A and B are shown apart, each in its own frame.
Chain A
């Protein structure tokens, strides 16, 4: 057999290896927003029971490309230890969407826990600040936007800022737990709008 010159092979092999390495790398922008965010200040949502006096909101967001899901937790104090009283402390996100760095989702206000399908939705609309926007020496990763009750006026709603306190990789299994009566309890039947089968 007439072998191919080794010099040609020496040139081809690195090219092949490089092409494979590039193809194996994946861009992680589809997970950019994922993580746990906490409000910087007490959050007020007009016309929503439990939020009228202000409370502290924690978002556990999981981004999958253009889709967003997660959990909204509400606390009575800024240490995010004592769950809010007089309302459901934990809700699942619904219809979460991400376009570039803008995200929107909804969750049931559930001012009358265990709740019902009559509970109005709270519509969230946030923008993810780029990581290079460092504020107060924090992580520099913030969500800024509004929380407005279904049918409310977004233009007059106060701006809310949430800071990412844990990245996606730092989440534990506890972060994924949510005893939402709307989902797991008696009121679960038919309330949640899920994605459809492929």
Chain B
């Protein structure tokens, strides 16, 4: 077979289309930088004229040329932003030629409902049509295939009229206009009753403010965005303003950066001057949109750490008792990250002593230990590691000790226990150092473990009596961002 040059060129040009029919609807090129995925659903023109609802002869299909032009203009503007990825309806996966897709199921139910309507099996028809509408809403077919859902509501309304339920019919027919406001009907095609009902629904729709949310509720918007893995949904519609001038309304529903379950709405309303008005509206949104490069992606780490817990302490150098004595107490403290790696802290401990095994400690007593200083710390996503250095003051309330057994049994009898037999330091001043770790158990709540050692260089009594307390503590805390 001999091919002409022209035929060869045509075949070569057609090859990619013939071999890769899905290329026209394939996913956009994967970009190496973060992008915001946006879906632009079909625009709608809510300028319904009830008087022009019925036309002589064959009803024309809805004129969407101006809406398509507006959508194209918006799409071009969106495509000009490198950090925006426009995901078309095809890209959502619902337009795939999959006979098992929900769209085909809904379409099949529509045909079944129409057959039941024509067979005057109205109850069954209503059941099928309502089921189809419910399924369409569950799978967001009502957003992606509004004309299909409009047909469902049309026949549901007609069935309701036949069953003598004009109120419900009115609601269904009004919903029909919501999904396909530009549809027309052949004059005389429907009985007078039905024509009247259609005209009344159109009039009601035209007099009612349009719904700005194509999905009705924010929960459905969040579900749609989540299901199709997109960050924003853009919806354009035309409607007459208060003075009758056409307005183009733009609504952008996008997931909040702070909380993915929260939907933020951006509204734009401007005079419809042609398709470029859509471009201007989109440009206006893009100017302030939270696209990735404008988003503060710096990982925010907590600055203020507040903790409470239990502490244990014992003096490493203790000349007042022969076996040493234990201190159990509670602690409260905070640390503030001055800058990465550097923090300042303050801590307050209240201890209660436990009796030492030889009873050298004549009385249990309270002690108040407070420290303040700076530290080196590293904050991670899982927690924080720190080392603290500072000054410490320790006040010992009613400390008395003796190794004389008579002082233990008769501490207040001067004949048996001389005052020189009891040592009683009350204030200790020195330096402290500690290391610790905070581990987050939730975003802000953490558990804390800390060990430290202090050394005193000033005391109200002999310094050698008590010194170098080591301390360990554990507790829980809260981190403030």
The interface size of chain A toward B, counting residues with CB under 8 Å, comes to 34
B440 to A3, Cβ gap below 8 A? yes
Residue A134 CB within 8 A of the other chain: no
Tell me if A194 is interfacial: C-beta within 8 Å of chain B: yes
CB closest residue in chain B, given A65 = B358
- B304 adjacent to chain A (CB < 8 Å): no
**Are B403 and A198 within 8 A (Cβ)?**
yes
**What per-residue 1/0 map shows which CB atoms of B401-427 lie under 8 Å from chain A?**
111111111100001111011110000
Please classify the interface of chain A as helix (H, G, I), strand (E, B), loop, or mixed, using the class held by over half of its residues. Answer: mixed
A196 touches B405 (CB 8 A): no
A99 lies within 8 A of chain B by Cβ: no
Q: Which of B381-409 contact A (CB under 8 A)?
A: 381-383, 401-409
**CA–CA, A196 to B474, complex, Å?**
40
Distance of A96 Cα from B382 Cα, bound (Å):
59
Q: Does A11 count as interface, using CB distance less than 8 angstroms?
A: no
In the complex, what distance in Å separates the CA atom of A4 from the CA atom of B445?
A: 11
- Interchain CA distance A62-B382 in the complex, whole Å: 54
A1-17 vs B, CB cutoff 8 Å, 1 = contact: the mask equals 11110100100000010
Verify A67–B405 contact, CB threshold 8 A. Answer: yes
CA distance A16 to B328 in the complex (A): 14
Choose among A1, A23, A64 the residue that contacts B326 (Cβ–Cβ < 8 A): A23
Distance A96 CA – B409 CA, assembled complex (angstroms):
13
Judge whether B322 and A65 touch: CB under 8 Å.
yes
Known contacts A2-B381, A64-B359; is A176 also within 8 Å of B328 by CB?
Answer: no
**A188 close to B (CB within 8 Å):** yes
Interface of B, secondary structure class, is loop
Tell me, in angstroms, the Cα distance from A198 to B405 when the chains sit together: 13
For B320, the closest partner residue in chain A by CB is A198
Q: Which of A24-32, A77-85, A111-119 contacts B (4 or more CB under 8 A)?
A: A24-32
Check A92 for interface membership: any CB of B closer than 8 A: yes
B143 at the interface (CB under 8 A from A): no
* A4-B328 contact, Cβ under 8 Å, with A9-B441, A198-B423: no
Task: Kindly identify, within residues 430 to 447 of chain B, every residue whose CB is under 8 Å from any CB belonging to chain A.
Answer: 439-444, 447
Contacting pair B401 A96 (CB below 8 A):
no
Find B355's partner among A4, A23, A26 (CB 8 Å cutoff). A26
A-B pairs with beta carbons under 8 A, tally? 101
Q: Does the CB pair B357–A1 fall under 8 Å?
A: no
Bound together, the chains give a CA A13 to CA B465 distance in angstroms of: 35
Output the nearest chain B residue to A183 by Cβ-Cβ distance. Answer: B415
CA distance A111 to B440 in the complex (A): 75
Please encode chain A, from 173 to 198, with 1 for each CB lying within 8 Å of some chain B CB and 0 for all others: 00010000001100010001011111
At the interface, yes or no: B354 with Cβ under 8 Å from chain A?
yes
User: Which B residues touch A197, using CB under 8 A?
Assistant: 420-423
Closest A residue to B359 by CB, please name it: A64
Instruction: Please determine whether B409 and A194 come into contact, CB atoms closer than 8 angstroms.
Output: no
Contact of B408 among A9, A62, A184 (CB under 8 A): A62
- A96 to chain B: closest residue by CB: B405
What is the CB-to-nearest-CB distance from B50 to chain A, in angstroms, rounded to a whole number?
59
B residues sitting closer than 8 Å to A (CB atoms) are 302, 310, 312, 319-320, 322-323, 326, 328, 354-355, 357-360, 381-383, 401-410, 415-418, 420-423, 439-444, 447, 465, 474, 479
Name 6 interchain pairs, CB-CB below 8 A, sorted by A: A1-B382, A4-B447, A62-B408, A184-B415, A192-B416, A196-B421
Nearest 4 CB-CB pairings of A with B? A195-B404, A65-B358, A69-B405, A1-B440
